[in-house]
Copies of this chain bind each other. A is one copy, B any other.
Amino acid sequence: MSESLTVAILGATGAVGTRMIDQLEASAISVKKVKLLASARSAGEIRQFRGENVVVEETTPESFEGVDIVLSSAGGSVSKKFLPEAVKRGAVCVDNTSAFRMDPDVPLVIPEVNEQAMYKHHGIIANPNCSTIQMVVALAPIYQAYGLKQVIVSTYQAASGAGQSAWKELDAEAQAHLDGDKMDAQILPTKGEKKHYPLAFNLLPQIDVFEDDGYTHEEWKMIHETKKIMLDDMDAGDIKVTATCVRVPVAVGHGESVYFEVADQSATAKDIQAKLAAAPGVVLQDDPDHQIYPQPLLAEGKRDTFVGRVRPDLENAGAFNMWVVSDNLLKGAAWNAVQIAERLVADDLVRVPENSQL
């Protein structure tokens, strides 16, 4: 399919949506028309696409008539409501929310890792959670070469992962704190929760709501999405995964301290660095002698996942520590979604199979 396409961006005015516009502009996709969809509140706003003004429209089921590809990032309930309507009208949807990620009929895709999962799509392809994507981009080449027995991750997640309003709140709190004023928290740790705490100059060990087992839903996502992506399409038994997710006063760019045990204990840190350096989507930044290691401020605006500080656990053979950073709004969201769309176009997959039920 090489003709020009109509692409709709659902949630076009959000932190991820605005970056979806940028990433689509810079992509290889031949776009005939872009539709920018949002809630009634944002309808009428003007955005630019390739130099032309585009008016933001309120989303209705009819918005998807004639649309080939939907890029969706307006929240899980919006995706649940509208994506089946889009699929019904023949559009293929790349969904950045958690609405369909664990649905067995929905591929959960990181193109560098499991592009082949897209081939069996039924109209919706899910984009994994931001913190999952960058970890799995870094772990996949290690897993493919040496197998993985266990992963223990602690995250350092940026405010923008909770949306534009959380990012603005961080800036306002930081300014208030520097001025000696009280910080006013209304959004974080999680919109809709009973209690809110300041993030500026603080750490919040809660991202999303708590499950009954004491893990947050963000931690649950990292555990289960990682397995769905890596185990679905590779073949090396089970991987144990546990996670602690922490929000940190950073605007853009998640950090992750990842401890992992490989199955093949002959692997050295040098071997792993070589596999990472050769892996698609990974940039190895690992030179302690010259103080080279990944940092959020250096990753902002980049599409890659940056990995450094790869070193063996000195007392546990076959285990390693590494440090992973990526722009959570790009590889963690907008770029991964547009990248999926690029591959859908290249592989002639922009069509909804007949009798698709979702």
Contacts and interface: CB of A to CB of B under 8 A. Distances in A.
A321 interface: yes
A197 interface: yes
A214 B174 contact: no
Contacts of A295: 197, 202-205
A296 B189 contact: no
Interface string A242-281: 1010101111010101010000000001000000000000
Contact of A152 (B152, B309, B310): B152
A323 B248 contact: no
A189 B309 CA distance: 15
A179 to B, nearest CB: 9
Interface string A304-332: 00001111011110010101010000000
Given A291-B189, A295-B202, A249 B248 contact: yes
A253 B203 CA distance: 9
Contact of A193 (B193, B204, B210, B291): B291
B250 A257 contact: no
Nearest to A310: B214
A175 interface: yes
A316 B214 CA distance: 16
A194 interface: yes
Chain A interface bracket (under 10, 10 to 19, 20 to 34, 35 or more)? 35 or more
B154 A214 contact: no
Interface in A228-246: 240-242, 244, 246
A98 interface: no
A100 interface: no
A56 to B, nearest CB: 27
A20 to B, nearest CB: 23
Nearest to A220: B314
Interface string A278-299: 0000000000111101111100
A119 interface: no
A315 B201 contact: no
A309 B156 contact: no
Contacts of A205: 255, 257, 293-295, 308-309, 323
16 contacts: A152-B152, A152-B259, A154-B257, A156-B203, A156-B248, A171-B178, A201-B250, A201-B251, A202-B296, A203-B295, A213-B311, A214-B309, A242-B316, A248-B249, A249-B250, A257-B257
